[in-house]
């Protein structure tokens, strides 16, 4: 009809519920009598917005328009959230995550891949050899994830006593004499000590 705005015509076509307030404002479909009464007048939309109607304008803002007349746009800045992020592990890649707007759902930026961190290792279970027992170099174990990166090696016993321990053959490590029993070796050391003390006293 002549005199009615495009916004009114859009609402009439959408078949919205009656929102006419008896004056010049409307928020829905008008009756035939109301249309006749308003012929030649300018209608004012009582703007109504939906939280589900935001659409991205650019990388920093989104907008929504009145659901009744399709005009009167509102603008807001994006509310940025990160999705799909994850930390890198010793062996697996990580991801910084993509940036999205929590309001309009627009993806604002793409994340990047984080390389694996690699293992941080320590030697576990190492053991020195004795005259009769094998030694072990120890396992190389990651202190972060617990994975055994490298198995250790067994080194056979040498069969020779260390410098500070008598062996089973009865050889005294201090004087290179052979003694049959351990208590004999101990006695020998005591006697050897006393003889040296006496020499000093004399």
Q: Which residues form the domain of 40?
A: 6-45
User: Would 101 be classed as within a structural domain?
Assistant: yes
Q: What is the DSSP letter of 43?
A: P
- Report how many domains make up the chain: 4
pTM over 0.85: no
pLDDT in tens, 168-198: 555 565 556 665 566 666 776 777 777 766 6
For residues 87 and 138, state if they share a domain.
Answer: no
For residues 59 and 39, state if they share a domain.
Answer: no
- Tell me which residue of 113, 76, 115, 78 sits closest to 99, measured CA to CA: 78
User: Would 1 be classed as within a structural domain?
Assistant: no
pLDDT for the residue 51? 86
pLDDT in tens, 68-82: 888 899 999 999 999
For residues 153 and 170, state if they share a domain.
Answer: no
CA–CA separation, 134 vs 130, rounded Å?
7
User: Would 50 be classed as within a structural domain?
Assistant: no
User: Would 98 be classed as within a structural domain?
Assistant: yes
CA–CA separation, 18 vs 6, rounded Å?
17
């Amino acid at each position: 009809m002549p005199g009615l705005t495009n916004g009114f015509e859009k609402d009439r076509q959408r078949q919205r519920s009656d929102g006419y307030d008896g004056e010049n404002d409307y928020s829905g479909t008008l009756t035939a009598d109301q249309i006749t009464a308003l012929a030649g007048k300018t209608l004012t939309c009582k703007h109504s917005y939906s939280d589900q109607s935001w659409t991205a304008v650019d990388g920093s803002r989104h907008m929504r328009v009145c659901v009744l007349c399709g005009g009167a746009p509102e603008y807001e800045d994006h509310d940025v959230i990160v999705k799909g992020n994850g930390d890198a592990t010793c062996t697996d890649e990580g991801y910084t995550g993509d940036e999205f707007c929590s309001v309009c759902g627009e993806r604002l930026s793409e994340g990047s891949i984080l390389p694996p961190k690699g293992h941080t290792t320590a030697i576990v279970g190492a053991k020195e050899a004795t005259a009769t027992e094998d030694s072990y170099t120890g396992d190389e174990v990651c202190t972060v994830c617990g994975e055994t990166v490298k198995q250790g090696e067994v080194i056979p016993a040498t069969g020779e006593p260390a410098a500070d321990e008598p062996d089973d053959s009865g050889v005294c490590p201090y004087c290179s004499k052979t003694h049959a029993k351990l208590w004999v070796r101990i006695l020998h050391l005591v006697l050897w000590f006393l003889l040296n003390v006496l020499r000093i006293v004399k």
